[in-house]
Amino acid sequence: MQQPSNIILGIDPGSTIMGYALIKVSNGQPQVLLMDVLKLASYQDIYERLEKIHTKVCELIRLYRPTTFAIEAPFFGKNVQSMLKLGRAQGVAIAAAMQAGILVTEYSPKKVKQSITGNGNADKDQVWKMLQRTLNIAEQPQYFDATDALAVALCHYYQQSSPLAAATSKGFKGWDDFIAKNEARVKK
């Protein structure tokens, strides 16, 4: 029996460059539909940039009809103003997804890297090389923001398809809860 397709929109938020990627999962096999960036540096006004982010995310949702939305959480840096701008960019993208009724999930940069490479401290090139192998992508995009967005989408797929995710969707709060409710299935 063929499972329905699942389309995941991944976003790497940014106030000067926003990465976005869409993957389609059919019968447990992810495939890249789109991977690109939205360049915002030419817009001097931050509010105009936020409007462009909202418009682009709404357009992607309208064109590709994703079933889920995954976004990278901002990491805490030393520059508070940069964090505020990044938070606004992230908020606008999330609001567009929520407005469309799409479930939003946020992942820390460390979680994304660990999910893709097995190492939460991997650099962007290591993440790209693993994405390239996993998804059979030939050509490297010009911006790592696009590959970061693809990594977020693939991380979300991995999290959704894990045994723990399946158990959680059945009402279990984690492995301890699963074991407590299924003692007969535990081999000693």
Tens of pLDDT, residues 117-163: 999 999 999 999 999 999 999 888 899 999 999 999 999 999 988 76
**Taking the CB of residue 53, how many other CB atoms lie within 10 A of it?**
26
Question: One-letter amino acid identity for 33?
Answer: L
12 labelled binding-site residue: yes
Per-residue CA distances from 67 to 56, 64, 123, 136 (Å): 17, 9, 29, 23
160 versus 52: the higher-pLDDT residue is 52
Render pLDDT for 54-71 as a digit per residue (tens, 0 to 9): 999 999 999 999 999 999
123 labelled binding-site residue: no
20 and 149 in contact (C-beta within 8 Å)? yes
Nearest to 69 by CA among 92, 93, 47: 93
What residues are labeled active site?
12, 72, 145
Render pLDDT for 97-111 as a digit per residue (tens, 0 to 9): 999 999 999 999 999
145 labelled binding-site residue: yes
